[in-house]
Amino acid sequence: MFDSALELVVRKLETRVGLSPDDRQAIFALPHVLRTYSATDYVIRDGEPPRQHCDFILDGIAFRQKMTVDGSRQIVSIHFSGDFIDLQHLFLNTADHNVEALTSLKVIGIERTALQQLVLQFPAVARAMWIEALVDSSIYREWVVNVARRDARARIAHLVCEIWSRVKAAGFLNPQGLKLPLTQVQLADAVGLTTVHVNRVLQSMRSERLIKDQRHVEPLNMAALAEAGGFDPRYLHLEQTSSANAS
Amino acid sequence: MFDSALELVVRKLETRVGLSPDDRQAIFALPHVLRTYSATDYVIRDGEPPRQHCDFILDGIAFRQKMTVDGSRQIVSIHFSGDFIDLQHLFLNTADHNVEALTSLKVIGIERTALQQLVLQFPAVARAMWIEALVDSSIYREWVVNVARRDARARIAHLVCEIWSRVKAAGFLNPQGLKLPLTQVQLADAVGLTTVHVNRVLQSMRSERLIKDQRHVEPLNMAALAEAGGFDPRYLHLEQTSSANAS
DNA sequence: CGTAATATTGACTCACTTCAATCAACGTGG
DNA sequence: CCACGTTGATTGAAGTGAGTCAATATTACG
């Protein structure tokens, strides 16, 4: 039961590098707990030191948000099954933002110091974790571009394409689509717009049959969406495996 | 001569973790070259595989930019003396953006595979590099907030504050200020605005005595600038050292 | 000294915001 | 089973920060 949760961690890392039996054994030996959050629960709170456990999502969706001094909110990332929520705090000592559960969330919380040791002492695992962290960075860069340079329609289209691609790559997509219970308020906070405007743009996108409902992403017309969002998935580095096994 | 360049790398990493004599020796043993770029030279090109060397800035300024399909440009980060330009490509196999020299640039290019080995085999070094990478991520998150949620005046003020803080923390600030040869076009590309608007906002900021000249950041009134930009430096994690030596 | 890059200006437009209702869906308690 | 509160979605009217286009200064520099 516990082991099956760590199995998911192993499987995730193996999408990036080959693991030896020793590596796998070390992962299975990680002290951990299973934990559940309800929607709207905080997983990480701005200003707090890292918790004792580092969470890896088994099921559900979480998002990361920052507040400005004048009180507006920006969602800066969204995380799904198979994501480490919290690489950030593996080696940093203070949270500079919040992470909140979007849906009810099942995670495996791995003991932070044990995970640090694993990363520091098992090169193959380290490689995989580095790749995860660097892809996170790459996604942030694309978000900068998204909110800075695309209009409302393209921003929303781009975000939907990203989510679609990531969830699909992680193997959690059923053919009838993806349940994504983002409210329009949250969607607006993710793309840097107001709710009112998001609402109007969504209506027009629905009338174009680009999307059906932002709370349920369906494979209506991904090609048209990608076109509308100027979406180029290279930044997700989905095919990135450590073929660079120069090691 | 060569060693003095690596000395800078050592010094940088030691701002984050304590290094043992072994660690230091391993760093000094890194195969490397010294290299120079002229302003506007490309250091990294979108779409290319990683070069054989990983650059660390000894002197000068570089910036990272992405293009959208419709041809607009967004600068997503700026790098100064003491920054690794290229952690991204230490473990990823394709560049998804460009890095360009803003000024003439002196770098030490460390052999990529050797640096990988160092990071994978020397835990203290790994810790320091992780912290660098995670702080990079944190900065990207703040840039998302900056372009998504602040108005033109605040965006520019925030960017100036960030640059000021980072260069100061790296110890490269002379009392009369910082030469930052950003043109208004580049500044606009960094904050997600047009040149025309940046020009007008700069004029008003100059008249308020918030800044004097965007090409030379002077310590005119950093407190007022921080106020105008809603700048809270926590996201830079400047004080972050691995006091978490729970290891 | 000429030419290109950068900065500035003016007039006009527009995508997005703001403010303020209203509507719809849904769970809850009586 | 219905009144009611709450959350999320929608609408309308009016305002504005920033963009666009196009011209002109200004500076840098070979």
Helices (H), B15-151: 21-28, 88-91, 112-121, 123-149
> What's the CA dihedral at B29, B59, B39, B30 to 10 degrees?
10
The answer to whether residue B215 scores a pLDDT higher than 50 is yes
Q: Please state the rounded mean pLDDT for residues B57-79.
A: 96
Cβ(A161)–Cβ(A231) below 8 Å: yes
Residue B242 has pLDDT above 80, yes or no: no
The arithmetic mean of pLDDT across residues A37-56, rounded, is 93
Q: What is the pLDDT of residue A218?
A: 81
Nearest to B230 among A70, A88, A191 (CB): A70
Q: Can you give the C-alpha Rg of chain A in angstroms?
A: 18
Q: What is the DSSP letter of A174?
A: B
Residue A246 corresponds to which amino acid?
A
Query: Does residue B116 sit at the A interface (CB-CB below 8 Å)?
Result: yes
Say if strands A98-101 and A105-111 run parallel, antiparallel, or are unpaired: unpaired
Please give the structure tokens belonging to residue A198: 């998001």
Q: CA B185 → CA A15, B22, B199, distances in Å?
A: 41, 46, 9
Q: Are strands A216-217 and A73-79 parallel, antiparallel or unpaired?
A: unpaired
To the nearest whole angstrom, how far is the Cα of B27 from the nearest Cα of chain A?
17
Average pLDDT, chain B: 92
For residue B25, the Cα-to-chain-centroid distance in whole angstroms is: 26
State how far the Cα of A109 lies from the Cα of A103, in Å rounded to an integer. 17
Query: Quick check: B202 CB within 7 A of strand C?
Result: yes
Residue B119 forms contact with A (CB below 8 Å): yes
The average pLDDT across B206-216 equals 89
Rounded to 10°, the helix A184-191/A195-207 angle is 100
pLDDT at A84 over 50: yes
Please answer yes or no on whether B138 and A113 come within 8 Å at the CB atom. no
Q: Which nucleotide, over all strands, has the C1' atom closest to the CA of B153? A: D17
Which whole number is the average pLDDT over A169-178?
Answer: 85
Q: Is B179 exposed, middle or buried (0-12, 13-18, 19+ CB in 10 A)?
A: exposed
Decide: helix, strand or coil at residue B104: coil
Separation CA B75–CA B199 (nearest Å):
17
Asked whether the beta carbons of A56 and A106 are under 8 A apart, the reply is no
State the virtual CA torsion across B211, B214, B216, B221 in degrees, nearest 10: 20
The mean predicted confidence, pLDDT, of chain A is: 93
Residue A138 touches chain B, beta carbons under 8 Å: yes
Chain B, 3 to 62: residues with Cβ < 8 Å from chain A are none
Which letter does DSSP use for residue B234 in this model? G
pTM given for the model: 0.95
Cβ A194 to strand C below 7 Å: yes
Measured over the CA atoms of residue A82, residue A85, residue A86 and residue A88, the dihedral's sign is positive
Cβ–Cβ gap A121/B123 under 8 Å: yes
pLDDT at A216 over 90: no
Q: Supply the pLDDT for residue A130.
A: 97
pLDDT band for position A220 (cuts 50, 70, 90): confident
Chain B nearest-CA distance from A230, in A, is 6
Q: CB B68 to CB A234 under 8 A?
A: no
Contact B144 A145 (CB under 8 A): no
Q: Say how far residue A10 (Cα) sits from the centre of its chain.
A: 17
Contacts of A96 in chain B (CB under 8 A): 138, 141, 234-235, 237
Q: Let me know the angle formed at the C-alpha of A105 by A104 and A110, rounded to the nearest 5 degrees.
A: 160
Cα A118 from Cα A135, distance rounded (Å): 20
* DSSP state string for A209-241: TS-SBTTEE--S-HHHHHHHHT--GGGG-TT--
Distance CA B206, CA B195 (A): 16
The Cα of A88 is separated from the nearest Cα of chain B by a number of Å equal to: 6
pLDDT of residue B243: 53
Structure tokens at B102: 């803003």
Measured CA to C1', what is the nucleotide nearest B213? Answer: C7
B247 vs A contacts (CB less than 8 Å): 113, 116-117, 120
Collect all residues of chain A within an 8 Å Cβ-Cβ radius of residue B127.
91, 120
Q: Do A244 and B91 touch (CB under 8 A)?
A: yes
- Nucleic strand C under 7 Å from the C-beta of B215: yes
CB-proximal positions of chain D, under 7 Å: 7-13, 17-22
Does residue B183 lie within 7 Å of nucleic acid chain C, judged by its CB?
A: yes
pLDDT tens for B20-53 read 999 999 999 999 999 999 999 999 999 999 999 9
Residue pair A33/A1 in contact (Cβ under 8 Å)? The answer is: no
Distance between CA atoms of residues A242 and A200, nearest Å: 44
Q: Give the distance, in angstroms, between residue A39 CA and nucleotide D7 C1'.
A: 14
Mutate to test the interface with A, among B140, B186, B242 (most CBs of A within 10 A): B140
- Average confidence (pLDDT) over B136-146: 98
A142 touches chain B (CB under 8 A): yes
